[in-house]
Structure 1
Amino acid sequence: MDNRHLVLVTGPARSGKSEWAENLAGQSNRSVIYVATAADYPEDEEWQTRIQAHQQRRPTNWQTIHAPMDLAKTIQAQPKSICLLIDSLGTWLANILDQEAELWAVTLETLLKAMTQAECQIIVVGEETGWGVVPGYPLGRRFRDRMGELLRQIGAISDQVYLVSAGYALNLKALGIYVTPMVPLDGPKRD
């Protein structure tokens, strides 16, 4: 981790991505600050159980910061000497999903700028979506589309990108070829 500035860990639900990110943070040889993006819903017992499971896995010497909305500002405020573990992008995105397209574009640009200018090490966890059926309602499609855009843009600026599935982590930067947005996703056009 010492030579890596920005690491993206992505994958489906319950794949082991948070555990892999926590493992990387623990190997960073730096003080770790865990950024929890979840809003607290005390009346939701199942949600509280999930939060407690995350808390119990983390070492007691890790500091926790709650940043459900202004993630860029949280990143900018961190000293060079730490490893910042952000978990998760999907939860953060859900908190601001009601932003109109213009504001979302500014929010995304501000976040990317904060990540590229940060002096600390950053490990960020993000959920993969859209591997199945297109959501049948507009807000679901907005979440899926924005999450895909967010992961793709963070992946492009990351030093390492891991896909975690079924408990196994694959280093996509070492194994894959980045598809630039200028290349049509459906292949070359035929005459």
Structure 2
Amino acid sequence: MGRILVLGGARSGKSRFAQLNAEKAAKTTGQTPVMIVTAQAFDDEMRDRIQQHQNDRADRWQTIEAPMALAESLRHLSRDSIVVVDCLTLWLTNRMLAEHDLAEAVSELVDAVSLCKAARLWLVSNEVGWSLVPENPLGRRFRDEAGRLHQQLAAVCDDTYLIAAGMKLKLEPF
């Protein structure tokens, strides 16, 4: 079993990295890869982004929409599943804006990832902590919560990669 956390900035290639690796793994096993998406189309720009991702996957993928119920979706995967979750920072945003108990939701997600039965699982997320300090409290809270989420998930994943400029760097614990 392999749980892989994939971090990177906007348009870094992180989703493409996870998707290509999942397609390769699925091809060797004859499986249909599963994409668990967390995005919600609240505006035209987001609808266009979602459409582009759907076009990239075409009908080669099974899609599960889980903007809120990500942990539950992970719990229902079969042992032979090849899965990409795209993306964790959108899931975090959805949870924060809905004013859910974030500590509980993150704990449930980390538990679900650590117990996930999927053969391979790629978790894609935006690394947002390297930019300017956000000017408002919600932005600063989001940045901090994303950093904490990434640390907790990296601790239960088998591998963590940082993607920048379409290049990968395997991260090692200190």
TM-score of the aligned structures, taking structure 1 as reference length: 0.83
- Deviation per CA, 1:108-131, whole angstroms, max 9, x where unpaired? 111111111111021110000121
Question: Take 2:56 and 2:140, find their aligned partners in 1: how far apart are those partners?
Answer: 33
Amino acid at match of 2:107: E
Q: Residue 96 of structure 2: SS of its match in structure 1?
A: coil
Question: Unmatched 5+ residue regions in structure 2?
Answer: none
Structure number with larger C-alpha Rg = 1
Which residue pairs with 2:110 in the alignment?
112
Q: Residue 97 of structure 1: SS of its match in structure 2?
A: helix
Question: Take 1:130 and 1:117, find their aligned partners in 2: how far apart are those partners?
Answer: 28
Question: Take 1:47 and 1:104, find their aligned partners in 2: how far apart are those partners?
Answer: 24
Q: Residue 59 of structure 2: SS of its match in structure 1?
A: coil
- Deviation per CA, 1:14-73, whole angstroms, max 9, x where unpaired? 1000000101111223331101101123xx222111111111111412100100001100
Whether the aligned pair in 2 keeps the contact of 1:33 and 1:84 (CA below 8 Å) is yes
Which residue pairs with 2:93 in the alignment?
94
Equivalent positions of 1:65-80 (< 5 A) are: 65-80=64-79
Say whether 1:19 aligns with 2:16: yes
Task: State the 1:11 CA deviation.
Answer: 0.5
Task: State the 1:158 CA deviation.
Answer: 0.9
Whether the aligned pair in 1 keeps the contact of 2:40 and 2:46 (CA below 8 Å) is no
Say whether 1:150 aligns with 2:144: no
Structure 1 residue ranges (4+ consecutive) displaced by more than 4 angstroms after TM superposition: none
Which residue pairs with 1:38 in the alignment?
39
Matched length: 168
Whether the aligned pair in 2 keeps the contact of 1:31 and 1:62 (CA below 8 Å) is yes
Equivalent positions of 1:124-143 (< 5 A) are: 124-143=123-142
Q: Residue 31 of structure 1: SS of its match in structure 2?
A: coil
Larger relative helix fraction: 2
Q: Residue 20 of structure 1: SS of its match in structure 2?
A: helix
Which residue pairs with 1:168 in the alignment?
167
Amino acid at match of 1:18: S
